[in-house]
Structure 1
């Protein structure tokens, strides 16, 4: 009897003990998973632990997710960059868990060849906030933590995270709370000693540009971009090569945005910039403005397609009186005079052939620029003159034409082509067509009024609009030839042929010879390393020009000085005309020598990305470009393409606030 009674008491005690142990399993002060490893990948171990400090108002429970990695293994940040997968937690099997909010420590950048990623090595602790569904109920965390880790290979590992959480039974753990506070101190926050001064997005080249300033300057900053916007979840922000530059207190970084399917609109979207400049670490949320170099910027917003086409027609027409084209135009007029006995039909065909040469060359140039743009190349008007092989080829062709005009030899077509031309009675038309091609190629280093506006619109527009605008440029430049083709009788207005014509060819030959010599001189910067690395080509002891620098412009304006910026190139005929006709003439010459005026030059003869960035900042795709800054115009006053003394003097006065 006593034995049976004892057995009953023992059973009752066992039940109570079981209930007590079960209760204790829900009432741990700070539940933890302990260290978890995978038999398939022992280079990584993880642990999840909660602090026990539950906040009933926000229904949040702080926790720490610690990842330890052996040797050179690394894992990834929230925006891993060009490769990698960010860590993630799948809560699908959990009960009573609404979500988990992550906090991400400042990452470091890693390169595998040219691929840049953002992440962590050795150990990283992620502060988490577990949000439960109800503040008075138990919750069951039954999640899967997926972690990507890499060395020369990458491994994707799943770790089960299982915790029983009774918010009414939790007790704070001081050690875990201290560790959580330490981990949160590593999360980048905005710091007042630095700020984002510029953030924009250029839809044309899909690039984000940021400028950050810091009172104590920068050392070796690493910059990372991400967005919490769900529509931007799969957008990759790739750091553009060599686009993180430091200029004293100013940091400039550019990122290329891409999406595996279709890139969403980024203008006016919120992004975060994280900067790691050990020991400085900060993050700033900013809104992306529309880039001033985007074709839909304020300068071009009001321009319709018809407006751009009208500008293209005028710009192309004006090219005919630019120094670049005059030799070829003169040769054409001379040939018209010499063949005054030709029938109206012959004249019409010849001039139509030349016009077709002009138009088709413009369309081909537009197509090539469009293809380069699609491939990611930063395109610009006249960019081919930054290539020494193009310059050499054009110089040799120009020299050959010059020698031909002097009568030293005759340019002959290959025999098979000559026979085909004779059979088809188009031998002369090929020559006239080539004149149009040649004139167009020689015109590309020139920038005329209206041309810059049309080209800026075209180079930032979709492919079909780009081709349409370049077709308009071709029509504009071909108008003189098309006019004579339409009205052959206009040749009667020209002088009658006579003995004086024998001097015309040598004169135009001399012009082409001078053009050839000039083209050969353009190769000098490519031969001279010092010249090719310079951003402000010219220095003289009497009137020195300073190197183009945003920082210097800002400092000078802050000090109350005026800055005159001249962006030029040796191959730009319009630039030379501005220099000789205005900048080196009175009263501008003396005005630019004033003590309170800084003269700054950017030499774009050879490709220079810094100068390209400067031009793009103002929606420009070619040279010449002149701008005047000062206390009265801190953002600068843009000058016309063809400078005049009045325009320069007036801009200087306005910049001085006079």
Structure 2
């Protein structure tokens, strides 16, 4: 009797409960991969079987992940190799909103724990869906696993469970609209910028981008200002070099915020020049003018200015007209050289090379040429040889007592070349704006730089009386000329020291010793052994006094840098901020004179050293002496193309505060306190 009752109850349940089933592979697991299991279910969506739905479910062990349709900087997406190729062509994959994973500086896009991927097949499908699923899963290692499957659709009937699961999976797929009411994409060299507006504001926005042929995208930098969102992504080509032009192409992105995601296709436009730093073109022109003018006060240009004063003193008939023409020729050399730099930047941009102020000093051949030129200028100023070339020749290496204007033009050009290792206030902003703007704007900004740098020279050209007030020629001129020669020799030896990045230290020392030996022997033959020995000894004494003066003025008699510098990276900044620490960033280069001045005048001071060695401070340093893709991208993200570059992050400054190129002790100490939140 009891058995009869159970049978009747079972029949009753079968009458009232849905017994439909989808074609189901069950959970598949490979012996070679116990960290993941997969399940495939399929069911025709209508009676005519014109559409078929398939649900791919993936379950992962904790700590393991798989990838989105565009994995990012590493990995591959899940894929299915169909037994019937026509089936694969009719399949449309739907991808839920992914997550972002950052490991060892590499950013990827994918899923963890569990994910279900819906697929829809258009048209009539075969009675059996067969194929092989290839699934990548990664933790500390990556495993690529194949899962053969076969789904018999003839055994599939309408199933409410499958329909519900499929609907839940589709609910996690980004929608076409509803998150943002306005979005745009713009591109400048090495950087893709996406702007979006949302009236409700933003909570925790994230952006995921599909791979674009020929381009690779790095980790997005997200910045929210009220209703406006700005996402900046570094862009390279597939080999890690500079990317080509993206303007005019279309990028596919998913933008998500607080559980809502939207799929968008955006056409990339040229990033307007005004949006690079949020300043108007006329403001940049004034910055370029001021930055060029301040370059004359940098130590890089002082030896050349001394040469120019020496050239005036050597003019036998110091008439106004001659002085005016000489300084106009030097001004023309300055402006022409800066326009030549604009041409160089244009070529580099068109060939997708690295752009930056002073990057020619990363090239050993350029440094070698500058060493040779400064050595010749040194010998000339020391009176070891004179050059009086025919008037038809177009160049002259040094100022002469007679001849044409080519020497004065060369002085202006040489001053410009020596100025490029320096970064003055306003200069970095103007150059960064120019290199990100259109080519006509780039040329205009460099022209203003030339005009600004040549302003002092043009002032003397307009009022030659300023220069003619110097004392009349006399014995003091020889001493001044020798002083200028030693200044130029110091510049030559400094340039030679930069070759340590390309040659061994021993080779550089041997070249420097040979150069000094040749100059000493030539001076002894020209001025006599006694005079040469006296001048050389006096020069060594002055050099020792200056060395010890700089050492003790730094506040540390030993001259040792006690700061625990760590390699610069975006990840290092994020890790330090996550620990509520203050971050001091210093991007420098051996060829950067302003960097050296910052180091010895500010960073080596005892109080600054003490502040930067506190437990709550992390000091990061990047070296741009040689070409570095990471340093270049780091600077470009912050709208800079020049060194020195210093920035301070902290709990009260999570976005970072960029300091002036010319550091001061007060600016560094106050910046550290402000970033920490201290009063």
Q: TM-score range by the shorter chain?
A: 0.5 to 0.7
Deviation at 1:52? 3.0
- Report if the CA contact (8 A) 2:650-2:675 is conserved: yes
Which residue does the alignment assign to 1:103? 93
Which residue does the alignment assign to 1:129? 120
Pick one of 345, 369, 393 that aligns with 2:369.
393
Pick one of 376, 398, 403 that aligns with 2:379.
403
SS in 2 for 1:620: coil
Structure-1 separation of matches of 2:243 and 2:486: 55
Which residue does the alignment assign to 2:659? 639
CA deviations 1:238-267 (Å, max 9, x no partner) are 237xx699xxxxxx973559999983387x
Structure-1 separation of matches of 2:604 and 2:396: 54
Which residue does the alignment assign to 1:369? 345
- Report if the CA contact (8 A) 2:276-2:433 is conserved: no
Which residue does the alignment assign to 1:62? 52
Which residue does the alignment assign to 1:35? none
Deviation at 1:174? 5.8
Q: Would you say 1:571 and 2:591 are equivalent positions?
A: yes
Structure 1 alignment gaps of length 5 or more: 1-28, 31-48, 66-76, 82-86, 88-98, 107-125, 132-138, 142-169, 192-198, 211-222, 228-234, 246-251, 274-283, 530-538
Deviation at 1:306? 1.5
SS in 2 for 1:629: strand
CA deviations 1:342-364 (Å, max 9, x no partner) are 33222221111111000011001
SS in 1 for 2:215: strand
Q: Would you say 1:271 and 2:253 are equivalent positions?
A: yes
Deviation at 1:585? 1.8
- Report if the CA contact (8 A) 1:344-1:489 is conserved: yes
SS in 1 for 2:287: helix
Which residue does the alignment assign to 1:560? 580
Which residue does the alignment assign to 1:521? 497
TM-score after normalising by structure 2: 0.59
Structure-2 separation of matches of 1:552 and 1:324: 34
Deviation at 1:336? 1.5
Structure-1 separation of matches of 2:246 and 2:266: 20
SS in 2 for 1:300: coil
Which residue does the alignment assign to 1:173? 156
Deviation at 1:653? 0.9
- Report if the CA contact (8 A) 1:447-1:624 is conserved: yes
Q: Would you say 1:314 and 2:300 are equivalent positions?
A: no
Which residue does the alignment assign to 1:457? 433
The change in CA–CA distance for 1:127 and 1:650 in structure 2 (over 3 A counts) is closer
Which residue does the alignment assign to 1:615? 635
Q: How many residues align?
A: 473
Which residue does the alignment assign to 2:448? 472
CA deviations 1:18-60 (Å, max 9, x no partner) are xxxxxxxxxxx99xxxxxxxxxxxxxxxxxx99433299xx97
Deviation at 1:186? 12
- Report if the CA contact (8 A) 2:611-2:669 is conserved: yes
Q: Would you say 1:52 and 2:44 are equivalent positions?
A: yes
Structure-2 separation of matches of 1:587 and 1:200: 47
Deviation at 1:568? 0.6
SS in 1 for 2:235: strand
Structure-1 separation of matches of 2:267 and 2:676: 29
SS in 2 for 1:307: helix
Structure-2 separation of matches of 1:200 and 1:525: 43
The change in CA–CA distance for 1:177 and 1:571 in structure 2 (over 3 A counts) is farther
**Within-5 A mapping of 1:320-469:** 320-339=296-315, 341-411=317-387, 413=389, 417=393, 427-469=403-445
- Report if the CA contact (8 A) 1:51-1:172 is conserved: no
- Report if the CA contact (8 A) 2:191-2:637 is conserved: no
Which residue does the alignment assign to 1:226? 210
The change in CA–CA distance for 1:355 and 1:419 in structure 2 (over 3 A counts) is closer
SS in 1 for 2:422: coil
Which residue does the alignment assign to 2:600? 580
Deviation at 1:512? 0.9
Q: Would you say 1:550 and 2:570 are equivalent positions?
A: yes
Structure-2 separation of matches of 1:415 and 1:490: 29
Structure-2 separation of matches of 1:311 and 1:473: 9
